[in-house]
Amino acid sequence: MISYTGEECLACGQKFGDKDDIVVCPVCGTPYHRSCYREKGECINHALHESGGSWMAESVQKKKTTDYIKTICPECSVLNPEDAENCINCGTPLKERDCEKIDFSDEKVTFTKVDLAEKYYGMDPQEVMDEDSGVTIGDMADYVRINRFYYMIAFRRLKESTVKMSVNFSAFLFPEYYCAARKMYGAGLLILLFRNIIMIPFLLEWLADSGSAGFAFHALSQYAAAHAFSTTVVNITKAVDIALKVCFGLFANELYFQHTLDTLKRLRKVSPTHLKYKQLAGQCGGISIMGILTMMLVEFLIVALIMLVLTILSQ
């Protein structure tokens, strides 16, 4: 049974006592002293009637309003009750900090509850990966985004082990495109340039063979045949290319680990709040499809430039 003790009668403004004779509106549930209701002859809570709502005790209204407002922990970004003294996740004191708050009574604010154990595959997202900057495994997982389970395991092993090698097949097969996908553009361009330069002997050999096979660019084929490298040199360049891919496939995770760590350190310095830092980590990380397409275009232009230079020399 609902207790109206301490609530106000809308008609007289007096608070109800334990022994007061109380009646409620059968439509909206607003309580009145029986004598007040008889005097008015009807419920005077017209606003509630027009909205189609139901009366709610002041204590319940206050609790509901409080439940709408959440305090964001500045360290782990977990939502806490508005009046929480410490973060329910990491224990950070909240009263002493200037914490951001979110009012979920605002219809424009949306929130999806995330199970941290599921998001981080049972690993502790607060595990520190760099003592100086305070970057955690959770930060790195938020930055990686795609295939985070694989990289969380790889990053933890690289941090704890003196052996910095681990197998990454995608990096072995497509080293420059792997770098572009993971936004390591500088490393990707260097690998692309190096691989195209060392493959020039193979390209000349291919052009010379194309001429003997009856292809149309005879002048270029003749020039390539006249300036072709020995079979030994061609084989050496092929071996160097394979060795480069093998080495990169073994050390790509270490390179990406350092790249992720350095990026998160920079984001920590420029972010005014921890929430902004987490948002930037998610936005700056992940995979770049545009980076892959751009790298493909650059490779096409490099090959086209090499072919143009050889064509001019063959004239």
Residue 234, pLDDT score: 87
pLDDT greater at residue 199 or residue 107 = 199
Whether 181 and 293 map to the same domain: the answer is: yes
121: in domain? no
Torsion angle defined by CA atoms of residues 29, 30, 34 and 38, in that order, rounded to the nearest 10 degrees: -100
75, 66 contact by CB (below 8 A): no
150: in domain? no
Whether 261 and 276 map to the same domain: the answer is: yes
Whether 49 and 77 map to the same domain: the answer is: no
Identify the domain containing residue 74 by its residue range. Answer: 62-113
CATH of the domain at 7: 3.30.40
Whether 172 and 262 map to the same domain: the answer is: yes
Phi, then psi, of 128 in degrees rounded to 5: -75, 130
183: in domain? yes
Whether 71 and 36 map to the same domain: the answer is: no
Q: What is the mean pLDDT of the chain?
A: 82
Whether 89 and 196 map to the same domain: the answer is: no
Query: Looking at 31, 55, 79, which one is the last position of a domain?
Result: 55
159: in domain? no
Residue 128, pLDDT score: 86
Whether 106 and 193 map to the same domain: the answer is: no
Whether 308 and 211 map to the same domain: the answer is: yes
pLDDT greater at residue 100 or residue 23 = 23
290: in domain? yes
Query: Looking at 39, 55, 71, which one is the last position of a domain?
Result: 55
Residue 63, pLDDT score: 47
Max mean pLDDT range (8-12, 114-118, 212-216, 225-229): 8-12
Whether 172 and 104 map to the same domain: the answer is: no
Strand order across the beta sheet in which 79-81 lies: 79-81, 69-72, 101-103
pLDDT greater at residue 174 or residue 2 = 174
pLDDT tens digits, one per residue of 135-183: 888 889 889 888 888 898 899 899 888 888 899 999 999 999 999 999 9
94: in domain? yes
pLDDT tens digits, one per residue of 43-70: 988 888 887 777 776 554 544 444 567 8
Query: Looking at 71, 87, 113, which one is the last position of a domain?
Result: 113
Whether 7 and 41 map to the same domain: the answer is: yes
219, 314 contact by CB (below 8 A): yes
Whether 235 and 289 map to the same domain: the answer is: yes
Pairing assessment for the beta strands 101-103 and 69-72 based on DSSP bridges:
antiparallel
Look at the chain and report how many structural domains it folds into.
Answer: 3
Longest dimension (CA), the chain: 115
Return d(Cα 282, Cα 279) in angstroms, integer: 5
